[in-house]
Amino acid sequence: RIAYVNGTYQPHNGATVHIEDRGFQFADGVYEVWSVFDGRLADFEGHMTRLARSLTELRIPIPMTAQALERVLKETIRRNRVRNGIVYLQVTRGTSPRDHAFPKDTPPSVIVTSKTIDLGKGEALAAKGAAGVTMPDIRWGRCDIKTVGLLPNVLAKQAAREKGAYECLMVDDMGLVTEGSSTNAWIVDENGKLRTRDTQANILRGITRTAILKLAEAEGIELDERPFSVDEAKRAKEVFVTAASSFVMPIVSLDGSKIADGKPGPVATRLRQVYLEQARRDAV
Ligand code: PLP
């Protein structure tokens, strides 16, 4: 495998950044993940726009033009011979002697990796449905920025894994679900309305979330962009999560209690299908 590191392509197993990289010492950086279909990038523009916003919010200089970045992403995909999988981009505030305050005249560090993903495995899990658990959301107040500071998300995902579950839904002080550890969370509520938390409320504006909102509207599904509680999720007709790497994943149990009949529902199944069709068709 090959990784892009600050202007050069290197063998993945020996690729390194400096020990004083601020991403390493302070989690002072941001990232994006694109899914790759037939060697092409899904929703290139959406992720690029969010990347620019994350960098601007943290006052990290934009490291290169969108065009140059597209070339690097595609070259990394090509050199790794990835047909279907993901490409990961990380931009940090660069390498400088450790000091909390921003360094002067330091170029950002840029790394890109890409790997193949077996789409069949995800399809099989989506057909069966995945298990979910819940945990308190212990994150900071800027979850709208896609930073590499993911320790609460790591702990949440690990809690899910230790309980044999696929994803952990994080819950605020009011008992309302914020989002998954690496996904946005949705339900089809008891009235048949599609619900997901609004993005004013300290969550990541998922690129897949935005695509699903549009597709749901086109499908004539009634939408309610409003948070839901753990209790509402447990009583819901359907629960599912969305992300660039897992698309739409039905959640068929939550903290051990079955959602509806314990099988993936029609809304999640349909949205997964139309999302995949569109993402494949529009990939660049
Ligand atoms: N929420 C969190 C906390 C995430 O980490 C992610 C993806 O990594 C998402 C939501 C989904 O975002 P996207 O659809 O852009 O992949």
Quote the ipTM score: 0.99
pLDDT single digits (tens) 216-231: 999 999 999 999 999 9
pLDDT of residue 82: 98
| Residue 187 vs residues 2, 111, 134, 159, 226: alpha-carbon distances, Å | 39, 36, 14, 22, 10
Among protein residues, the one whose CA lies closest to atom 5 of ligand 1 = 182
Q: What is the pLDDT of residues 53-94, one digit of tens each?
A: 999 999 999 999 999 999 999 999 999 999 999 999 999 999
List CB contacts of 248: < 8 A, sequence separation 6 or more: 126, 208, 212, 240, 241, 242, 268, 271, 272, 275
| One domain for residues 202 and 148 | yes
Same domain (yes/no): 90, 133: no
Query: Could you tell me if the CB of 185 is within 6 A of ligand 1?
Result: no
pLDDT band for 279, please (50, 70, 90 cuts).
Answer: very high
Dist CA 265 CA 255 (whole Å): 18
Atom of ligand 1 nearest to the CA of 210: 14
Same domain, 174 and 38: no
Terminal-residue alpha carbon distance, the chain: 22
pTM more than 0.90: yes
Asked if residue 151 and residue 275 are part of one domain, the reply reads yes
Q: Clarify whether residues 128 and 238 are in a common domain.
A: yes
Q: pLDDT grade, residue 29 (50/70/90)?
A: very high
Q: What spacing in Å lies between the alpha carbon of 175 and ligand 1's midpoint?
A: 21
Q: Is 184's C-beta closer than 6 angstroms to any atom of ligand 1?
A: yes
To test the pocket of ligand 1, the residue of 49, 135, 143, 204 to mutate (highest count of ligand atoms within 8 Å of its CB) is 204
Chain mean pLDDT for the chain: 98
Angle at 241 between CA 240 and CA 247, to 5 degrees: 110
* Ligand 1 geometric centre to CA of 246 (Å): 10
Residue located nearest, by CA, to atom 2 of ligand 1: 182
Distance, CA 179 to ligand 1 centroid (Å)?
9
Continuous H helices in the chain? 22-26, 44-58, 66-79, 119-128, 151-162, 207-218, 230-235, 266-282
- Which helix (H) or strand (E) element contains residue 201? none
Last residue of a domain, one of 68, 100, 117: 117
The verdict on the CB of residue 209 being under 6 Å from ligand 1 is: yes
Residues 128, 244: one domain? yes
Closest atom of ligand 1 relative to the 184 alpha carbon: 10
The string of pLDDT tens digits covering residues 163-197 is 999 999 999 999 999 999 999 999 999 999 999 99
189 and 247 belong to one structural domain: yes
CATH number, domain containing residue 133: 3.20.10.10
Structural domains of the chain, count: 2
Residue 126 and residue 113 share a domain: no
Could you tell me the CATH number of the domain that includes residue 51? 3.30.470.10
178 lines ligand 1 (CB under 6 A): no
Average pLDDT (239-267) is 98
pLDDT given for residue 281 in this prediction:
97
* pLDDT confidence of residue 150: 98
Ligand 1 midpoint to CA 238 (Å): 20
- Cβ atoms of 33 and 50 within 8 Å: the answer is no
CB 22 near ligand 1, within 6 Å: no
pLDDT digits (tens, 9 = 90+) for 112-160: 999 999 999 999 999 999 999 999 999 999 999 999 999 999 999 999 9
Helix (H/G/I), strand (E/B), else coil: 82: coil
Is residue 161 domain-shared with residue 174, that is, in the same domain? yes
- The whole domain housing 10 covers 2-117
Q: Which of 86, 102, 117 is the last residue of a domain?
A: 117
Whether 81 and 169 map to the same domain: the answer is no
User: Looking at the structure, do residues 105 and 185 belong to the same domain, yes or no?
Assistant: no
Domain termination residue (choose one: 82, 99, 117): 117
User: What radius of gyration do the chain's Cα atoms show?
Assistant: 19
Confidence grade of residue 256 (pLDDT, cut at 50, 70, 90): very high
Q: Which of 184, 215, 245 to mutate to test the pocket of ligand 1 (most atoms within 8 A of CB)?
A: 184
- State residue 87's pLDDT score: 98
Work out the percent of the chain whose per-residue pLDDT is above 90. 100
**Catalytic residue numbers, as ranges:** 146
pLDDT, residue 237, reads 98
pLDDT of residue 54: 98
Cα–Cα distance for residue pair 88/32, rounded to 1 Å: 6
What is the number of the ligand 1 atom nearest to the C-alpha of 181?
A: 3
Ligand 1: centre distance to CA 178 (Å): 12
Residues 185 and 203 placed together within one structural domain of the fold: yes
Average pLDDT over every residue of 26-35? 98
pLDDT at 197: 98
